[in-house]
Structure 1
Amino acid sequence: MGMYRQLKQELIDYSKQINIDKIGFAAADPFLELKQKLQLQQELGYASGFEEKDIEKRTDPALLLDQPRSIIAIALAYPSKLEDAPKGKKGERRGLFCRASWGEDYHTVLRKKLHLLEQFLQEKLPDVQFKSMVDTGELSDRAVAERAGIGWSAKNCAIITPEFGSYVYLGEMLTNVPFEPDTPMESQCGKCTKCIDACPTNALVQGGQLNSQRCIAYLTQTKDFLPEAFRKHLGNRLYGCDTCQTVCPENKGKHTLRHEEMKPDNEQVKPLLEPLLSMSNKEFKERFGRMSGSWRGKKPIQRNALIALAHFKEESSLPILAEVLHGDPRPVIRGTAAYAIGQIGGASAKELLQKAKQEEKEEAVLDEVKKAIQSLQSVL
């Protein structure tokens, strides 16, 4: 075991050289507690649908690699503050991408780091076997990070590190090397419930349990009509939500910019809303393609931009909203434009909606138009 102890230290030293902020080691035993949580989450209908559906694969490393002996967990800290952020104003309203979408797509950044660790191990042990994952892999990044002592599993369902708070990206490598495991951290959340209390949609059911179907971060990524109950909670969010992180006392004063590729482009992460509505797929990819927040394409972002204009009650946007309502081929976008027009209100809005009521053939859009007219009449 002395050889593996030395190799572990060499790997830790190398991780610092390649700018990995935290590294930890965990046993590759099944995640039995997580299995129970995931089964309950499925029974309650709390899952998002984006995650691996096979709970056995999510909780048993032996189904992913032949005779796994340990898991290497890594964390990279990301920035939490925008320097000289552009300010939205009347006639020039802006949306917002969450912090986890700033800079280059974190999946790419972490995979590069894990690949370097793979190469390092292969040079030392030519017969080594491994399987690396970031976010979209079968294993739960958070469960692995918690077991590996990267941080503790917090009430906001994030991993909190003493050094960087919860502003960290996580990845892991399953391997057949028997590295000695590190010690998990005890939760430091105590009696604090700030994240639970601040969640706009009450998605944090209790400490450490999330109803993804209510979570704004999840809702911003859906492609259908956003349920009405959640529209007014969206604010100007285009992708993701940081509320349960920004209110956390452990994140106070935590801001790290050690990775140049994570540096946010202000005009990308806080873009003007109106230009988003007429953007082609090609323009969207050129402008936002390198961000993780672009993975679902432009449709959810455009739908959310319409809801943001409704939030601001931006009257000067009525002409472009009218173009969308009468000219966009996608029912979800037309219907959401009708909702935005109804929220902005006024005589022009009523006229636009009445015209749409006569012309619109799609039932779901017509329903949105009628509801928007009703909302106008209840104000008058």
Structure 2
Amino acid sequence: MTCVTKNDIREFAYKSGIDVLGFASPDCLFKYRVLLKNRCELGLSCSIEEKDVEKRINPALLLEDVKSIIAIAVSYNIDFKRDDLKSGFGIVSRTSWGKDYHMVLKEKLDMLKSFILSKCNNAKMVSLVDNNPLLERAIAYSAGIGFYGKNNMIINEEYGSYIFLGELLLNVYFEPDTPIDSKCGDCSLCLKACPGKAFVSDYNIDANKCLSYATIYKGYLNDETIKKLGKRIYGCDVCQEVCPFNKRAKKVMRNEFIPGKLKPRHNLTEILDLDNKRFKEVFGPTSSSWRGKNTIIRNAIIASINSKDKDSIKSLKSLLKGNSAYLRGYSAYALSILDGERSISGIENAYLKETDIETKEFMKKALKNIRGEVFEDNKR
């Protein structure tokens, strides 16, 4: 007889604000070894994914004598109406509304750990929330949290796919729960709606084409991606918004995920004018802060282009003279579209002073955009 039962753990979890909980075997990920290798070989994995396959499928690398994995899900499907802004704005994914979900789930898992330790004195545990290379969704699927949607999201029949996932590795054995077969049927709304056209087939995604990934990608984006990004500042919710399960998913009252200073539709000029202090105040408490200020501002510059927001011009001119070469290049490109010939002198001067090769190329592109020719060596 074990020191604590699955029902005891579930009962405590639900009282602690965890919406769904399940149990998986530590070896539930081994079957994904070939799939991961194939994805890497086909170029479907993105740069932030762990390249060492074993680290992605072997929980024993994190807890040597792991015998079970507890998977949890917390819904972020709050009942909140977004502001209808008339001026230029950027869109922030639901995953970054309110308090950083990593902290919220870590608190839930810490409470769960304390409860289990009160019953099992010798238990060893490691809590995980997006801070490790293990296949988190595969663990949730194996634990019966939900089924795989064709968009690769885990969908719970009650809460939809608007759920944050966390895991607890432990050296106490529990019988694994049963995975749930897909209930997508013939529906393919998510695949058709994807603005990045990222889906190779059902349940198969090219992560490099996902616009959510594009919003966190560091560096210059190609023209096609810039256009597809639209007004996105962080993340993309499209494939979830069209899902029938999410349209009827249960709403929750959870104050942690009510937007604070960062709004779901946030004023673009305010983002473009961010200094370090203001960035920490607005983005710091949320899950979007990890990618840093410059990437967020880069996305706001792109949003200003795609929304034709001329109110951004003053801020873009300031960024053109700023400390970040990366943002100087993007600002030049945005000004070439939004301000045209009125900005040509400023872009030319910035180009002549620029020392970063990649940024100079972007500025050349901006000048060609205005003049129809490449500006070089102060000759027109």
With structure 2 as the length reference, what TM-score do the two structures score? 0.92
Runs of 4+ in 1 over 6 A off after TM superposition: none
2:9 maps to what in 1?
Answer: 11
Whether contact under 8 Å (2:29, 2:57) holds in the other structure is: yes
Deviation at 1:179?
A: 0.9
Give the match's secondary structure for 1:295: helix
Residues 1:52 and 2:45 are matched in the alignment: no
Match of 1:339 in 2: 333
Match of 1:292 in 2: 287
Answer with 337-346 or 172-181: which moved more.
337-346
Q: State the superposition RMSD in angstroms.
A: 2.0
Q: Secondary structure at the match of 2:228?
A: coil
Residues 1:134 and 2:106 aligned together:
no
Paired AA for residue 165 in structure 2:
L
Of stretches 314-323 and 331-340 in structure 1, the one that deviates more from structure 2 is 314-323
Contact kept in structure 1, 2:97 and 2:264, CA below 8 Å = yes
May I ask how many residue pairs the two structures share in their alignment? 373
Q: CA deviation at 1:358?
A: 4.4
Residue 265 of structure 1 and its aligned partner are, at CA, apart by: 2.6
Q: Counterpart of 1:252?
A: 247
Describe the superposition over 1:41-85 as per-residue Cα deviations: whole angstroms up to 9, x where unpaired: 2212222232333211221223322332211110000026542x3
Cα pair 2:336 2:369 within 8 Å, conserved: yes
- Compute the displacement of 1:198 (Å): 1.4
- State which drifts further: 56-65 or 279-288: 56-65
Q: CA deviation at 1:355?
A: 4.2
Tell me whether 1:87 sits opposite 2:81 in the alignment: no
Shift of 1:200: 1.3
**Structure 1 counterpart of 2:64:** 66
Using the alignment, how far apart are the partners of 2:334 and 2:183 within structure 1? 43
Distance 1:354 1:271 in 2: 31
Aligned to 1:348: 342
Matched, 1:108 2:106: no
**After the TM superposition, which residues 18-37 of structure 1 pair with which residues of structure 2 at under 5 Å, given as runs?**
18-37=16-35
Conserved 8 A contact 1:268-1:288: no
Whether 1:374 and 2:377 are equivalent positions in the alignment is: no
Deviations, residues 165-223 of structure 1 (Å, cap 9, x unaligned): 10000011111211121111010112222111111122122222222222111111122
Query: Given residue 75 of structure 1, which amino acid in structure 2 is its aligned partner?
Result: A
Q: State the alpha-carbon separation in 2 of the partners of residues 65 and 360 from structure 1.
A: 50
Instruction: Give 1:351 shift.
Output: 4.5
Q: What is the CA-CA distance between 1:294 and the residue it aligns to?
A: 0.7
Q: Is the 8 Å Cα contact of residues 274 and 317 (structure 1) preserved in structure 2?
A: yes
**2:307 paired residue number:** 312
Name the % identity: 39
Cα deviation digits, residues 313-368 of structure 1 (max 9, x gap) = 1223222212211x112111011111111222443244443444444443322222
Offset of residue 231 of structure 1: 0.1
Deviations 1:256-300 (Å, cap 9, x if unpaired)?
Answer: 233221112375332211122222112211221110011111110
Q: Distance in 2 between matches of 1:213 and 1:80?
A: 29
- Residue of structure 1 in register with 2:39 after alignment: 41
Which residue in 1 is equivalent to 2:375? none
1:86–1:266 CA contact under 8 A, matched in 2: no
Distance 1:110 1:318 in 2: 40
Return closer, same or farther for 1:349/1:119 CA change in 2, 3 Å cut-off. Answer: same
Is the Cα–Cα contact under 8 Å of residues 238 and 305 in structure 1 kept in the other structure?
Answer: yes
Structure 1's unaligned 5+ residue stretches are none
Bigger mean CA deviation after superposition, 164-173 or 200-209: 200-209
Query: Unpaired segments of 5 or more residues in structure 2?
Result: 373-380
- Aligned partners of 2:69 and 2:235: how far apart in 1? 29
Q: What are the within-5 Å matches in structure 2 for residues 311-330 of structure 1?
A: 311-325=306-320, 327-330=321-324
Contact 2:229 2:303 in 1 (8 A): yes
CA distance in 1, matches of 2:205, 2:107: 30
- 1:301 maps to 2:296: yes
Deviation at 1:163, TM superposition (A): 0.5
Determine the C-alpha separation between the residues in 1 that align with 2:250 and 2:318. Answer: 41
Give the SS at the match of 2:191: helix
2:69 aligns to what SS in structure 1? strand
